[in-house]
Amino acid sequence: MRIPRIAALVAGVAAASLALAGCASSDNGGGGGSSSGVVNVAWGEPENPLIPANTNEVNGGQILTNIFAGLVYYKADGSWDYDAAESIESDDYKTWTIKLKPGQTFSDGTPVTSDSFVKAWQWAAADPELLNQWWFIDAIAFEGGTYDGGENTLALNVVDDTTFTVELAAPRADFPVALGYSVFVPLPESFFDDPDAFGDNPVGNGPYKIAEDGWVHGESLKLVPNESYNGPRKAENGGLNFVVYASQDAAYADLLSDNVDVIDTVPVSALATFKDDLGDRAVEQATAVFQSFTMNYNLAHFGDDEEGQLRRAAISHAINRQEITDVIFNGTRTPAEDFTSPVIAGFDPASIEGSDVLKYDPDLAVDLWNQANAISPWDGQFQIAYNADGGHQEWVDATANSIKNTLGIDAVGLPYPDFAGLRTEVNDRTIKSAFRTGWQFDFPSQANILGALYVTGSGSNDADYSNPEFDDLFRQGLASPTLEEQNEYFNQAQGVLFKDLPAIPLWYGAVTTGYSTLVDNVEFGWDSWPILYQITKAE
């Protein structure tokens, strides 16, 4: 999932003037009675049509999560439970049998069957033009999947209307966890007639459906509760109104005046003051985002040799993570202790060998750096590239300053005007500096980040890191039947990463946000998204 960059520009607030009616705060929440108010949510226009296999950024993802019900869903704490599925079982973690709850329908009245899933997945895997196509082939590794795609490329088998089987290429114990990602939702028959039209007005099987003419592009998207949904995520409010905001600052200004009820994050300019502004409506919690910067092994002085290893460790010891998170992020971020996230099951940095390479230790840093200089003297400037359109400038400059002050070398942040420019150089390996990297978990499992970033040849291995020892441990972990065994392997694998430092871990992301005086039961999930269906609001 794409890390949320600065909230997309452009706007229009289609919020009905509910603020005027805001006399009493709604306290009819709790578990029981549902409310009838429409919750206004700050949002950005999706960058792609609303087709599950073509939506890989948060704005589109928020809508899909609410209008579709996948086989499983994630709870706030990152654990999962069945949504459309009744059971997902396997004996060998390679062949999985999925049973659906009977009698489910899409909001257009057509039934949700095994076919709805199988056809949707096959369709997506066949078309390389879809942004999330890799999910089916790369991450999940269905038997027979190739990058070339093509018809019926996945080993899926329909048993009956509510049962189908999946054959994976390699055993994988965490398969059900991954199925909560929005790319695995079912699609109704009408989709296949005209995918383009569907992308503008999707029909789902989730707790909400798009209101008639509800999508005013560039301004707002309205969702109303879907009565035919009977799953565990029943809507507790009268609907959702997603309002496009040009900037986080604008959304925050509206939150302070109750024009919008839920925002995804407070702007950097309000980090120091938002707790005073919002009181107990301020929200601050850890989330599954991992921040780092990366040096490709082709970068001079940072190659796959002793010098490179020493320099990587020296740089890591030279960064005062605690001070940067305290000052730049007002203490809302937590310094990284491993390569995953504290909200993901299996997090246990204390047990990992070598994790103290992330400790700030100026003397050791200088010592290591000098050892590296003995091998080959340092020259030039240490640069950390970042995209200037994403609000990264402060922390990159602070990190560069920390390195500069500790090692006495010239270190600077190097802004690229836009994300495309940065990613192009990272992608074709022409970048001549370190560059910021980050990961927002797609599903709550360590396998997600470790597999995508550090396995030899994997999709987002921007450093071109390759260590057979790590690959081995990771594969064994994937095939382990229990979470405990799995995490044991993963933690050993992380021990290898601490030795090699293919990326320099910095800190974990956090949700720093708040909600208006008009809503109750606001909770933010492990993925930093607000859990919208359970919010209550008086009319």
Partner 1 sequence: MFWYIVRRILQGIPVFFGSTLIIFAMVFAMPGNPVLRMFGERTPNPAQVAALEAMYHLDQPFFVRYFLYLGDVVQGNLGYTFAGQSVNEILARTFPTTLRLALLAVIIQLGIGVTVGLISGLRKGSVFDGTALVISLLLISMPVFVLGFVMQWFFGIQLGIFRPTVGAGAPWADLILPAIVLAALNMAYVIRLTRASVLETAQQDFVRMAYGKGLTRRRVIPVHILRNSLIPVTTNLAADFGILIVGATVTEGIFNVPGVGNELFKAINRHDTPEIVSIVTILVIVYVLVNLFIDLLYGVLDPRIRYVK
Partner 2 sequence: MSSKNPVRRAPRYVAEVDEGGLGAVDAVRVSERKSNLWLDAWRDLRSRWLFWVTSVLILFIIFVALFPGVFTNEPPNDNCQLSVSNAGPSPGHPLGFTKLGCDIFSRIVHGTGTSLSVGIIVTVMVAVMGIVLGAFAGYFGGWLDSFLMRIGDIFFAIPYILAAVVIMSMFLHDRNIWVISLAIGFFSWPATARILRSEVLRVKQLDYVMASEAIGLTKLRTMFTHVMPNSLAPVIVISTVGLAGAIVAEATLSFLGVGLPNNLFMSWGNDISAAQTSLRTAPQTLIYPSIALSLTVLAFILLGELVRDALDPRTRASR
* Alpha carbon distance 101, 401 (integer Å): 56
Number of residues that bind partner 2 (CB under 8 A): 32
Q: Contact between 482 and partner 1 (CB under 8 A)?
A: no
**323 near partner 2, judged by CB under 8 A:** yes
**Interface segment toward partner 2; rule CB under 8 A; list 54-62, 69-77, 127-135, 413-421:** 413-421
How many other CB atoms sit within 10 Å of the CB of residue 284?
Answer: 17
CB 236 → partner 1: shortest distance, Å? 25
Which one of 13-21, 100-108, 201-209, 476-484 is the stretch in contact with partner 1 (CB under 8 A)?
13-21
Among residues 75, 359, 404, 423, the one that binds partner 1 under rule CB under 8 A: 423
Q: What is the dihedral of CA 446, 447, 448, 453, to 10 degrees?
A: 100
Q: What is the three-state SS of 280-329?
A: HHEEEEEEEEEEEEECCCCCCCCCCCHHHHHHHHHHHHHCCHHHHHHHCC
472 binds, among partner 2, partner 1, none (CB under 5 to 8 A by kind): none
Closest CA to 266 of 507, 63, 528: 528
**Pick from 33, 279, 417, 459: which binds partner 2 (CB under 8 A)?**
417
Measured between alpha carbons, how far apart are the two ends of the chain, in Å? 34
Provide, rounded to whole angstroms, the least separation between the CB of residue 411 and partner 2. Answer: 9
Minimum CB distance to partner 1 smaller for 255 or for 343? 255
Q: How far is the CB of 183 from partner 1 (least distance, A)?
A: 13
Helical pair 393-407 and 306-318, crossing angle rounded to 10 deg = 110
The dihedral through the CA atoms of 205, 211, 212, 218 has a sign that is negative
Exposure letters 199-214 (e unless 16+ CB within 10 A, then b): beebbbbbbbbbeeeb
Of 10, 211, 479, 483, the one binding partner 1 (CB under 8 A) is 10
Contacts of 374 (CB under 8 A, 6+ apart): none
Residue from 439, 454, 474, 533 binding partner 1 (CB under 8 A): 439
238 binds, options partner 2, partner 1, none, Cβ within 5 to 8 A by partner type:
none
Contact status: 47 vs partner 1 (CB under 8 A): yes
Contact 79/532 with Cβ under 8 angstroms? no
Considering the complex, state which of residue 112 and residue 126 has its C-beta at the smaller distance from partner 1. 126
Q: Cα–Cα distances in Å, from 241 out to 14, 280, 459?
A: 8, 24, 35
Show the site string, 315-334: x = touches partner 1 by CB under 8 A, - = not: --------------------
Contact 470, 497 (CB under 8 A): yes
Q: In what order do the strands lie in the sheet with 208-216?
A: 38-43, 239-244, 220-225, 208-216
220 part of the interface to partner 1, by CB under 8 A: yes
Among positions 43, 80, 134, 529, the unique one binding partner 1 when judged by CB under 8 A? 134
- Output the smallest distance, CB 3 to partner 1, in A: 6
Listed in sequence order, the residues at least 6 apart from 193 whose beta carbon sits closer than 8 Å to its beta carbon are none
DSSP, res 516: -
Write down the residue that tokens 């956090």 correspond to.
510
Interacting residue with partner 2 among 398, 403, 463, 496 (CB under 8 A) = 398
**Footprint on residues 276-315 left by partner 1 (CB under 8 A):** none
d(CA 21, CA 258): 11
Residue 427 partner contact from partner 1, partner 2, none using kind-dependent CB cut-offs of 5 to 8 Å: partner 1
Smallest separation (angstroms) from partner 1 to the CB of 219? 6
Name the residues that contact partner 2, by CB under 8 A.
Answer: 268-273, 320, 323-324, 326-328, 387-389, 393-394, 397-398, 400-402, 404-405, 412-418, 421
Contact positions vs partner 1 (CB under 8 A)? 1-3, 8-17, 45-49, 56-57, 127-129, 131, 133-134, 138, 147-149, 196, 199-200, 217-220, 244-247, 249-251, 253-254, 256-257, 259, 269, 389, 418-424, 426-427, 437-439, 452, 459-462
